[in-house]
Amino acid sequence: MNSYLDKQVPRKNLVYLVEDDLDLANAMHMLFQTEGLEIKHFEDGESFLKEVAEHPMINPEEPAVCVLLDIRLGHMSGLEVFEKLTKNHPNFKHPVIFLTGHADLQVAVDVMRQGACDFVTKPFDSDTLLEKVRLGLALSNKTMDTEVTKQQLNLLLDKLTHKEMTVMQYVIEGMHNREIAEILGNSVRTVEIHRANVFDKMQVKSAVELARLLERYGYEH
């Protein structure tokens, strides 16, 4: 399928670090800078959640993000931050990696069941941390490619007229033009025109290609 729907969007990679230990934060900042990774530091959960609130929607201009979240923050714990993040900001779909101590291992395992991506125990090995962050950024990029493409797909769907949308639904169910014409009370030629318009606006060349495109991005009719 040769449409812009399949083109990956080049974007920046950004690490969000939510850590109230300034010495540790500075050390991680130097580590990531050495590896060419951009990092944005938040000293508490409130400032991090404010940043998320200001960038609620995934779009092509936003960077891919991996969040490093200390489980033992001061005023608001990492667990509380994660709970607020998942409850109040469902569009923030970037991976979250918890920074934990050995005493918090079971808590970290539990929070992964709630949607966290991974955890790293302190004191952590730099190579292990970097590997997990890179995996997180790769996951974020993949998620964003899918989400951005869904948005682009919806823009294409918005171009369809009501009749074209109806014809498209019958087409992806495998109906032939004559069957569709009988159901809608139109001529076969009229259905052929609507069908051609659907293919053109959706940037596909066949009914199979159209059905695969819609199924791939979760279109429900």
CATH, residue 197: 1.10.10.10
The neighbouring-strand residues paired with 68 are 17, 97
Query: 127 and 172 share a domain?
Result: no
Quick: pLDDT tens for 136-192. Answer: 999 999 888 888 788 888 889 999 999 999 999 999 999 999 999 999 999 999 999
Residue owning tokens 């989400």: 147
Looking at 98, 116, 148, the residue that finishes a domain is 148
All residue ranges of the chain with pLDDT < 70 are 1-10, 56-60, 102-103, 218-221
User: Which structural domain range is residue 14 located in?
Assistant: 4-148
Mean pLDDT, the chain, whole residue set = 88
Measured CA distances, 164 to 8, 34, 73, 175, 209 (Å): 28, 54, 54, 14, 17
- pLDDT, position 220: 63
